[in-house]
Chain A
């Protein structure tokens, strides 16, 4: 059952795939001062994608078709057997329209901040429904990472807002 909810973070609108691809793509046109940040957060999101994939894989790899059905994964099994796929918790396949690259650095960074807060919220709702304490440790970790990423994107906005040549406060 939990595996089904976790798929939201795999191929959902605010999931790790969307996050990784969003930042990875925005980095080409963002000002040089914050390219590194987008690049590195994109890399971290790819590793989170692997963590989510591992959780789903471990939870489902040995499940019988009956167990898959009972867990609400019958629709998934009919199409994919035990394979993972990039769709959300309700089976809607991932689409690039979940993400944006506006070319305007402030617009892009504000989207990134919003994406982190939405991903944080999604982790909260999954934790609320989960009864697996070990898995929850991992989910709480991933939720906290969204908090840190959001802060870093906010800092990136501050850096871009600053007047050229003006010295930093610290």
Chain B
């Protein structure tokens, strides 16, 4: 059984936090489509999240399926651990 290193949890938590900001801003913008500052913050957070996920996937493999992440060899899109297992 592979044990995930502390960096795995650290990076995942960082992604979780920035993605939460994105979720909350997204809902807010759905009812406030003209708030320029919020849109800018949303775009910056999205960019930050993208960079974190590239970094994470380089170290620990794909986060998403159906073509949103790349696979290594052998196929590792279905490798453990799954989100509910960590």
Tell me, yes or no, whether A and B come into direct contact in the complex with CB atoms closer than 8 A: yes
Interface residues of A (CB under 8 A from B): 34, 36-37, 40-41, 44, 50, 53-54, 57-58, 148-149, 152, 155-156, 159, 168, 170
Stretch from B5-13, B27-35, B41-49, B53-61 at the A interface: B27-35
Chain B neighbourhood of A40, CB < 8 A: 23, 26-27, 30
Cβ contacts A to B, 21 pairs, < 8 Å: A34-B30, A34-B31, A36-B30, A37-B27, A40-B23, A40-B27, A40-B30, A44-B23, A44-B27, A50-B83, A50-B84, A54-B83, A57-B84, A149-B27, A152-B27, A152-B30, A155-B31, A156-B31, A159-B31, A168-B34, A170-B34
A-B contact count (CB 8 A): 32
Chain A neighbourhood of B34, CB < 8 A: 168, 170
Q: Is the interface of A mostly helix, strand, loop or mixed?
A: helix
A56: nearest chain-B partner, CB-CB: B84
In contact, B27 and A41 (Cβ under 8 angstroms): yes
Interface residues of B (CB under 8 A from A): 23-24, 26-28, 30-31, 34, 83-84
Residue among B26, B28, B31, B83 with the most chain A CB within 10 A? B31
Alpha-carbon gap, A127 to B47, bound state (A): 36
Chain B neighbourhood of A44, CB < 8 A: 23, 27
Chain A neighbourhood of B84, CB < 8 A: 50, 53-54, 57-58
In contact, A152 and B31 (Cβ under 8 angstroms): yes
Within the complex, what minimum Cβ distance (angstroms) separates A122 from chain B? 21
A168: nearest chain-B partner, CB-CB: B34
Among all A-B residue pairs, the 10 with the closest Cβ atoms: A155-B31, A54-B84, A37-B30, A36-B30, A152-B27, A57-B84, A40-B26, A152-B31, A40-B27, A44-B23
Chain B neighbourhood of A57, CB < 8 A: 84
Chain B neighbourhood of A168, CB < 8 A: 34
Alpha-carbon gap, A148 to B28, bound state (A): 9
